[in-house]
Structure 1
Amino acid sequence: MNTIYPFGCLSLSEGKISFQNMVRLDPGGALIFRVDLPARPPMYGLWNQIPSTDDTGWNAEIVRFGYFSKNAVGDQRPGARLTLSVLEGRVVEALVRVLFATPEMRNRTFPFMRRPSAFFGVVTFALDWVVLAAK
């Protein structure tokens, strides 16, 4: 088993992206993804399931991104996340959208494999999901 990419990896010209094993966060587990951009260390992000109002399924929200370690995901202290250029932020957003839109990647990991049809396919990004450098 590949420990770096346990659920496979999408390799695109802009970089690589993959879902990762969950990590423990108080009070529960955290859903994690990894991005590898050229000339950058691996970066990790946190995403959540957003249930529909009728509880028939869910969408995904990217909560925070830019952690240097998946074990640091959830740390909200200043400086806990790497700062990206505006271009890098756009690239990461595009990679995330491709990852969530690719059934072969989704269906290898929790929570998708439990009930693949429950994911409605919408990915949103929290307002402060990434730390961007000043222009």
Structure 2
Amino acid sequence: MSKVIYTGTTNTTGGRDGASRTSDGRLDVKLSPPGSSAPGTNPEQLFAAAWSACFLSAIGRAAAERQLRVPADAAVSAEIDLVSNDDGGYVLQARLNAKLPGIETDLAKSLVERAHQLCPYSKATRGNIAVELNAA
């Protein structure tokens, strides 16, 4: 490993029915199970937010490698599914949907593929969960 650039630290109590707070207090959220009407968000939504933010930045880096700029209205939506499997446990699967207005479809797909190689969240999940990449 190389030099650590940043460490994000959270403390969570109560699991999916609890709360999570970062060490600097900038994030302080109530948690609730997926599909619940209880107040709060769930881990899958938090993971989707984090991955989509990182992935959009990785698209920007992929574009910069080609001396291109990502449009200001570019966006990535991440869909994280919590799936029950045959052994009674759970797994995740994901879809990353990139919208790159004004960028030709083949180029957009190429940037998304490259971003998937660059993004730390994509690297962390590679080979561990099914991931579908989409570009428009």
- For normalisation by structure 1, the TM-score amounts to 0.37
State the TM-score, normalizing by the size of structure 2.
0.37
More RCO (CA 8 Å, sep 6+): 1
Q: Which has the larger radius of gyration?
A: 2
Indicate the structure with greater strand content: 1
Question: Larger helix proportion, structure 1 or 2?
Answer: 2
